[in-house]
């Protein structure tokens, strides 16, 4: 069944249509949530929260063809809300727990990438993740984040420049 028809059915209160829609993008939502929160439990909680929020607000979606974009925006907002709520909590050193179990170079690379991305501001992180993780165009990113196209470009280039500088600093100390 076509996406637009499913969205319109869901907007009219068809629970099965909504469930079919949500299940198509559940893995994408989980991956996006995981990149933000960096742990399985919180990412799974975010998937549930996105399901609830999107089900509750499906009638507000104006363009059915942007259903996935709309879901990703809800995912990012929920993730940022959770991150802000958890800023008051002092986390354990997750890097130590991961590295004590294995000497795999991929784990070290993954941790380095997460640390690099964490150096970015939230708007920069969102643009980078949408561009390179979710494979979105700058036009789509500007629509998802509700910012002008020029702003999306400048945020992307600023974020890439920060990442380059941080990589150079790491190389200088290595």
Spell out the domains of the chain, with CATH numbers in brackets.
1-91 (1.10.1740.10), 104-174 (1.10.10.10)
- Rounded Cα–Cα distance for residues 128 and 157 (Å): 9
Please identify every stretch of the chain with a pLDDT value under 70, giving residue numbers as ranges.
1, 88-112, 170-174
- Rounded Cα–Cα distance for residues 160 and 162 (Å): 5
Beta strands in 52-149 (DSSP E): none
pTM for the model stands at 0.64
Are 50 and 25 contacting, i.e. CB atoms less than 8 angstroms apart? no
**pLDDT tens digit string along 118-164?**
788 888 888 888 888 778 889 988 888 889 999 999 999 999 998 88
Task: Kindly report each contact of residues 91-99 with a partner whose C-beta sits within 8 Å and lies 24 or more positions away, as own/partner.
Answer: 94/38, 94/39
Cα separations (Å) of 158 from 14, 100, 120, 153, 165?
Answer: 44, 35, 10, 8, 11
The token duo for 121 is 């501001």
Exposed (0-12), middle (13-18) or buried (19+): which is 112, by Cβ within 10 Å?
Answer: middle
Alpha-carbon torsion 34, 38, 39, 43, what sign? negative
Are 159 and 125 contacting, i.e. CB atoms less than 8 angstroms apart? yes
- Whole-number pLDDT of residue 153: 93
Using DSSP's 3-state secondary structure scheme, residue 48 falls into helix
């Amino acid at each position: 069944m076509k996406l637009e028809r499913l969205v319109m059915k869901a907007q009219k209160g068809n629970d099965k249509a909504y469930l079919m829609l949500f299940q198509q993008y559940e893995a994408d939502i989980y991956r996006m949530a995981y990149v933000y929160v960096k742990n399985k439990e919180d990412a799974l909680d975010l998937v549930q929260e996105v399901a609830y929020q999107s089900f509750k607000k499906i009638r507000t979606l104006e363009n059915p063809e942007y259903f996935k974009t709309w879901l990703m925006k809800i995912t990012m907002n929920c993730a940022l809300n959770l991150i802000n709520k958890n800023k008051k909590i002092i986390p354990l050193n997750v890097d130590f727990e991961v590295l004590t179990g294995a000497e795999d170079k991929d784990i070290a690379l993954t941790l380095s990438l997460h640390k690099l991305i964490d150096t970015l501001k939230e708007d920069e992180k969102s643009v980078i993740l949408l561009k390179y993780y979710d494979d979105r165009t700058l036009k789509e990113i500007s629509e998802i984040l509700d910012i002008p196209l020029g702003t999306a470009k400048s945020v992307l280039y600023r974020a890439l420049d920060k990442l380059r500088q941080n990589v150079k600093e790491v190389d200088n100390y290595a």
